[in-house]
Amino acid sequence: MPRASAADAAETARRVLETATAHFAEHGYAAASIDEIAHAAGVTRGAVYHHYDSKPRLFAAVAAAQQHQIAEAIIAATADSSDDTALRDGSHAFLDAITHGVASRILLIDGPAALGWEQWRRLDAEGPEQELRTGLREAGIAPALVDPLASALSGAMNELALWLAARPDDAAARRHAHRALDTLLDAVTPQP
């Protein structure tokens, strides 16, 4: 007994996604149950499986949405950056964006395990890491080192984000995290 027209269906899917985001963030991927997500969203598991084929797919949708938000924040922050400062501006924007939402910490932790490393890697290779690589190239890094350095810096920022997420509302910690990031970026960019 569908109460939903095509427009309402999209609303249902959106509500499920939102609820799933909260549950994955609070309980982690493994402990989050589709049954509970469905119940909290006011539908049955049938509806969830109708819109998202499987639990990994649902998680992938949640993760993609989070990445989209972060990517937009980076784009906004680097809109009026020069080529010289884009990498630095984008990196700081990334750190702020990923530590802002509640879900980010869980996404960084559960992402690889839930989706498998391959798929996870593809997901953020299309995302912020791509901009990282172009930033490194523009900074004059040797081509052979661009890939490993991008991975390394990405890992550094992710771990920095987790470190920061464990210290919420700690302004000093946030300052120190950004200074630590700057220290690492000094190694790969023409220094100001």
Partner DNA sequence: CTCCTTTACATACAGCATGTTTGTAACTTG
Partner DNA sequence: CAAGTTACAAACATGCTGTATGTAAAGGAG
The residue count for binding a copy of itself (CB under 8 A) is 43
Picked from a copy of itself, DNA, none, the partner binding residue 76 (CB below 5 to 8 A depending on kind) is none
Q: Where are the alpha helices (DSSP H) in the chain?
A: 6-27, 34-41, 45-51, 55-78, 83-100, 103-115, 117-125, 128-138, 143-165, 171-186
What dihedral do alpha carbons 43, 44, 46, 52 form, nearest 10°? 50
- Our finding on whether 34 is near a copy of itself (CB under 8 A) is no
User: Does 16 engage in binding with a copy of itself (CB under 8 A)?
Assistant: no
Q: Which is nearer to DNA, 53 or 159 (CB)?
A: 53
3-state secondary structure of 54: coil
186 part of the interface to DNA, by CB under 7 A? no
Q: Which of 112, 119, 125, 138 binds a copy of itself (CB under 8 A)?
A: 112
Non-local (6+) Cβ contacts of 30 within 8 A are: 110, 114
From the number of C-beta atoms within 10 Å of its C-beta (0-12, 13-18, 19+), residue 100 rates as: middle
110 binds a copy of itself (CB under 8 A): yes
Please give the residues from 159 up to 188 whose contact with a copy of itself meets the rule CB under 8 A.
Answer: 159-160, 162-164, 166, 172-173, 176-177, 179-181, 183-184, 186-188
101: left (phi over 0), alpha (psi -120 to 50) or beta: beta
Q: For a copy of itself, which residue of 9, 65, 109, 123 counts as binding (CB under 8 A)?
A: 109
Cβ contact 161:108 at 8 Å: yes
Q: Of 21-80, which residues contact DNA (CB under 7 A)?
A: 32-36, 38, 43-47, 49-51, 53-56
Please say which residue, 29 or 52, places its beta carbon nearer to a copy of itself.
Answer: 29
Min. distance of Cβ 116 from DNA in angstroms? 12
114 touches a copy of itself (CB under 8 A): yes
CA distance 192 to 182: 11
Q: Which residue in the set 144, 169, 170, 192 belongs to the binding site for a copy of itself (CB under 8 A)?
A: 144
Q: Which two tokens stand for residue 99?
A: 């530590």
Which positions lie near DNA, rule CB under 7 A? Answer: 1-6, 8-9, 12-13, 32-36, 38, 43-47, 49-51, 53-56
